[in-house]
Structure 1
Amino acid sequence: MEFRPLRAFVEVARLGGFSAAAKAVFSTQSTMSKAVKQLEEELGIPLLNRTGHRPVLTAAGEVVYRRGIKLLADREDLIAELDDIRGMKRGVLRLGLASVGSGTVFAQLFALYRQRYPGIEIQLVEQGSAQLETSLRAGAIDLAGALLPSSSDFDAEVVRREAVVAILPERHPLSTRSSLSFADLKDTPFILFDSDFAMHKMVIEACRRSAFEPTIAACSSQADFMVDLVGAGLGAAFLPLMVAQRTEHSAVRSIPLNEPNCEWVMAMIWRRDAHLMPAARAWLDLVRDCRAGASDPDASSGAQG
């Protein structure tokens, strides 16, 4: 089996369509379609049902997708190990970052990395934590900056911990409180990050522990827009403290959450069985060096799984 048609099929299945998959691999829709057709002919069975607006995996397609992800990831590991043996002079760091808070957490790390390793090309993607985990499993990226907890499939290195604050309209009845719980806000509509963001799940699970389902007024991937919606009186939002401090709005108030098991924890994660390329190992070493030198009381903690 050739890997190029398999890669095309996995990307189509992962991204839900030929057009999105073509963009992801810098190809054309027709090329992706031909590659998937080639794989189907080679295997002698349809992998996609193309009758609707979006291709849907057949039963055989589910099997090939699940197995294909591992085959492609193993191939990347093989190439990485061979590159190690050859003594690679230049390298590539394929890094995925969460859309929330990454600028504050990683900007200085990027600058230091470039100073130390000017020959390394950095390929960066920004996604929600759930999408980043999918990309890691598929071998599309080497490391991801995502929120904990993550799947047991991954090892993790904590980068930063932040309290979560509630963002309320200035005239909200609870806006003068010194702290709040989710139960205090059960009658207030919530403005949440999109469902593929770890913070969306965090808030929903915290509300369920308090025995209520929140009313969701809106979801977004943009913290600034969420704060604007709060300022317009649409409801309450929830942000890590460092993001809230960088998002100014005269018509809102930030109030600490007095809520157990509700902490924003950014970590670097990677596949537990992966062979990390030198560029990725160098990034992890830099993360550990910077964390060990920080004033964070958790600075001396090691990798967590």
Structure 2
Amino acid sequence: MELRKLRVFVEVVRQGGFSAAAETLFATQSTVSKSVRQLEDEIGMPLLNRIGHRITMTEAGEVVFRRAQQLLADREDLIAELDDIRGLRRGTLRLGLPPIGSSVLFAPVFTLYRKRYPGIDVSLVEHGGDRLDELLQAGEIDLAGSLLPIPEQEYDWQTVRCEPLVALLARGHPLKDAGPVTLKDLKDVPFILFESGFALNRIIIEACRAQGFEPQIVARSSQLDFVVELAAAGLGVAFLPRMIADERRRAAVDYVPLKGHETDWNLAVTWRRNGYLSKSAQAWLACLREIHQDV
């Protein structure tokens, strides 16, 4: 059983279809379909139910998916461990960071790391926290920027920054002088959120439900500046960590503090608790601690 075929199958499940998986794998759809079909022939059972353009896993598919994720993660651990034998003169650090806050918090760490370890190649991917969690679980990245809380039995972490959220409202909104507001105070205002896969969305929506309402979501975007401009245009209310909001001040936007700690933006760098943490990853964490002395 080839790991390459398992990798293709895992990506088809993750992406929810063959065409999306083909884009992620930089392969043709026919190549992806053929690889999954060969895997099914080798196992002797169907792994996927194909219903139109939608797929679901069979019982066998669920077993293979779970085991394949672990096998792929073990392979990456093996490669990382062998790189460590060579020392930090060369190797790769696979890093996953969220788009929100990375430029401020991690750019200085990059600079220090590059200066000390010029032979280490840093492979960077940027996604929302939920997608980074998938990549971390599969062993495709060594470290991920994640919002706490996270499952303690699965991850270890190093805290980076904790910031309260602020609500972004168009200039002159009636709530602008209300002082700190709760999410419930904003329940009649349409919400502008980030794209699905951003952990900040989940924190906001869960906090709304805890306060007894379901938010009306009027727009989603992965572009931070566009989210701010939508709020400035009066489309609804957006939310940013205070530190990020201060960087993106707009004359057309009022910034209202959000009351309560249940929505705090608590950013950490995480890694798999039972995975192998390479020396290159350990060196990155040391640089992170040095830059952010209050961690």
TM-score by length of 1: 0.90
- Secondary structure (helix, strand or coil) at the match of 2:292 reads helix
Shift of 1:78: 2.3
Q: Unaligned regions of 5+ residues in structure 2, if any?
A: none
Question: Would you say how many aligned residue pairs link Structure 1 and Structure 2?
Answer: 294
Equivalent in the alignment of 2:30? 30
| Aligned equivalents of 2:126, 2:66: Cα separation in 1 | 24
Shift of 1:219: 2.0
- Secondary structure (helix, strand or coil) at the match of 1:32 reads helix
- Secondary structure (helix, strand or coil) at the match of 1:166 reads strand
- Which amino acid in 1 is paired with 2:100? V
Report if the CA contact (8 A) 2:155-2:271 is conserved. Answer: yes
Report if the CA contact (8 A) 1:146-1:268 is conserved. Answer: yes
Equivalent in the alignment of 2:115? 115
Report if the CA contact (8 A) 1:182-1:259 is conserved. Answer: no
Shift of 1:51: 4.3
TM-score by length of 2: 0.93
Equivalent in the alignment of 2:40? 40
- Which amino acid in 1 is paired with 2:35? A
| Aligned equivalents of 2:127, 2:58: Cα separation in 1 | 27
The correspondence of residues 107-256 of structure 1 with structure 2, limited to 5 A, is 107-152=107-152, 153-256=154-257
Q: Does 1:282 align with 2:283?
A: yes
- Which amino acid in 1 is paired with 2:121? E
The correspondence of residues 31-110 of structure 1 with structure 2, limited to 5 A, is 31-87=31-87, 89-110=89-110
Report if the CA contact (8 A) 2:176-2:256 is conserved. Answer: yes
- Secondary structure (helix, strand or coil) at the match of 2:83 reads helix
Shift of 1:87: 4.4
| Aligned equivalents of 1:47, 1:174: Cα separation in 2 | 53
- Which amino acid in 2 is paired with 1:171? G
Equivalent in the alignment of 1:303? none
* Residues 72-108 of structure 1, C-alpha deviations (whole Å, 9 max, x = no match): 1112222322333354641111111112111111111
| Aligned equivalents of 2:228, 2:34: Cα separation in 1 | 45
| Aligned equivalents of 1:108, 1:154: Cα separation in 2 | 25
Equivalent in the alignment of 1:16? 16
| Aligned equivalents of 1:23, 1:212: Cα separation in 2 | 38
Report if the CA contact (8 A) 2:195-2:220 is conserved. Answer: yes
Q: Unaligned regions of 5+ residues in structure 1, if any?
A: 300-305
Shift of 1:161: 1.4
| Aligned equivalents of 1:291, 1:38: Cα separation in 2 | 49
- Percent identity reads 56
* Residues 32-78 of structure 1, C-alpha deviations (whole Å, 9 max, x = no match): 23222221111111112334224432222121111110111112222
| Aligned equivalents of 2:213, 2:51: Cα separation in 1 | 40
- Secondary structure (helix, strand or coil) at the match of 1:260 reads coil
- Secondary structure (helix, strand or coil) at the match of 1:50 reads strand
Shift of 1:269: 0.5
- Secondary structure (helix, strand or coil) at the match of 2:164 reads strand
